[in-house]
Structure 1
Amino acid sequence: MIFACDLDQTLIYSRRSMGPMEESELVPVEKYEGEDLSFMTRTAYARLRELSREIDFVPTTTRIYEQYERIHGLTGDIRIRYAIVSNGGRVLVDGRTDAQWDGMIRQAVRSGAASGEEAKALFDRLADASWVLKERYCDELFYAVVVNREEIPGGWMEELAGELARMGWNCSLQGRKVYLVPDPVSKGAAVRYVKELAGASFVFAAGDSLLDESMLRVADEAMAPGHGELFRNYAGKDERGIRFAGRSGILASEDILEAAANCRKEAGHTR
């Protein structure tokens, strides 16, 4: 069994995103420039540690490799053989880039989508420079653009999505970042690939955003927190097989890990 799980605002949380929580119940899992940035609850951390010994836990994140490496809490006690970073653009096996997947995904992008320059030019044409703060071209695959979210006009994301779709790209608004992603780069495609690598027969997946939806659709069981893009889009209702946690914020991670553990026990799934 594979447990493919998004990280930010699904499994790990910043102080801004976690909601009310006693400090004594938190485990720091990410540090940057001497500051603790992300946390898990003690309960969630203990459940993940136990679960990773029984099945393949696969961190699946839009973060690039260097940002993923900052999460020190996913080393040591947590067993990880496979990881997916760059929104599916890179697969790691024992911490190293899988060359076969790297070649496959870059060829798919070249042949199946407009260039990054064309997608960014479209964004620049539709956006107002006054609320665009900075941008990053990640792994030469997709863009992450930091914006003043409050200043984005109503309906603007829908307009952007419609225009990008004609170019073989999609978009997502998460926190203060707008992501522009070519269609071949997806968590779902990467999860299918890792499933084959691991020889697994079952996938439990969890995530909170539209960028996670592709992996939830390829999973045998799928779950989302009681917050985020998916929760807002589907009004918290079970939508085409996605189960929603009963809680939001950092406590949703406990619900997700409990559901993954119960799934393993009920079906008898192991590695």
Structure 2
Amino acid sequence: MIFACDLDQTLIYSRRSMGPVGESELVPVEKYEGEDLSFMTRAAYSRLRELSLELDFVPTTTRIYEQYERIHGLTDGIRVRYAIVSNGGRVLVDGRTDAGWDGMIREAVRLTAAPGEEAKALFDRLADPRWVLKERYCDGLFYAVVVDRDGVPDGWMEELTGELAGLGWNCSLQGRKMYLVPDPVSKGAAVRYVKELAGASFVFAAGDSLLDESMLRIADAAMAPAHGELFRMYGGENGGSIGFARRSGIGASEEILDAAAKCRREARHTG
């Protein structure tokens, strides 16, 4: 069994996103320039350590490799053989880039999506530079743009989505970060590839954003926390195959891990 899980605001949380929680309940899992940036609850961390020994836990993130490597908590007593970074653009096996996937995904982007410069030029034409704060081209595959969210007009994302579709690209807004992504680059496609690599027959997936939806839709069972883009879109219901946690914030990770453990027990019983 594979447990493919988004990281930020699904499994790990910054102080700004975690919600009310006692300091004594927190375990730091990411450090940058001497500062603890991300946390899990002690209960969630303990459950993940146990669970990682029973199945293939696959961290699945939009972070690029260098940002993923900062999460030291995923190397301390937690077994990770496979990981997915760059929103599905790179698959790691035992910490190294899988060359087979790398070649396939870059060829797919070349054949089916417009060059990155075209997508970015379209964005620049539609965006107001007054609310664009920072931008980065990630892994030569997609763009991450930091924006002043209050400045983004209502309906603007819908306009951008429609324009990008003609180029074979899509977009997502998560907090202050806007992502422009070519269609072949998705977490769902990468999870399907890892499933084949691992020889797994069952996938449980969890995530909070529209960039996670592709992997939640191809999973055998899936859960989203009671916050984030997916919760806002579906209102905690009518998500089809996606179940929703009762809790929001950092507490939702405990529910997600409990659901993954339940799937593992049921798979073991039926197997």
TM range (shorter): over 0.9
Deviation per CA, 1:183-230: give whole Å up to 9, x if none.
000000000000000000000000000000000011000100000000
Paired-residue identity, %? 83
Contact 1:146 1:177 in 2 (8 A): yes
Deviation per CA, 1:128-160: give whole Å up to 9, x if none.
000000100000000000000011000000110
Match of 2:50 in 1: 50
Gaps of 5+ in 1: none
Match of 2:193 in 1: 193
Root mean square deviation, CA, Å: 1.2
Match of 1:241 in 2: 241
Match of 2:175 in 1: 175
Shift, 1:74, TM fit: 0.1
Shift, 1:240, TM fit: 1.5
Contact 1:264 1:270 in 2 (8 A): no
| Segments of 4+ moved more than 3 angstroms | none
1:116 pairs with 2:151: no
Letter in 2 for 1:155: G
SS in 1 for 2:239: coil
Match of 2:41 in 1: 41
Match of 1:29 in 2: 29
Contact 1:55 1:269 in 2 (8 A): no
Shift, 1:270, TM fit: 11
Letter in 2 for 1:113: A
Match of 2:214 in 1: 214
**Aligned residues between the structures:** 271
Shift, 1:76, TM fit: 2.4
Separation in 2, partners of 1:66, 1:267 = 34
User: TM-score when scaled to structure 2?
Assistant: 0.99
User: TM-score when scaled to structure 1?
Assistant: 0.99
SS in 2 for 1:268: helix
Shift, 1:48, TM fit: 0.3
Match of 1:146 in 2: 146
Shift, 1:239, TM fit: 1.1
Separation in 2, partners of 1:140, 1:266 = 41
1:255 pairs with 2:242: no
Deviation per CA, 1:2-57: give whole Å up to 9, x if none.
00000000000000000011000000000000000000000000010000000000
SS in 1 for 2:235: coil
Contact 1:205 1:219 in 2 (8 A): yes
Letter in 1 for 2:118: E
Contact 1:54 1:270 in 2 (8 A): no
Separation in 1, partners of 2:113, 2:93 = 27
Match of 1:96 in 2: 96
Separation in 1, partners of 2:16, 2:113 = 35
Separation in 2, partners of 1:43, 1:27 = 9
Shift, 1:126, TM fit: 0.5
Letter in 1 for 2:185: V
Separation in 2, partners of 1:91, 1:185 = 11
Deviation per CA, 1:98-149: give whole Å up to 9, x if none.
0000000000000010110000000000000000001000000000000000
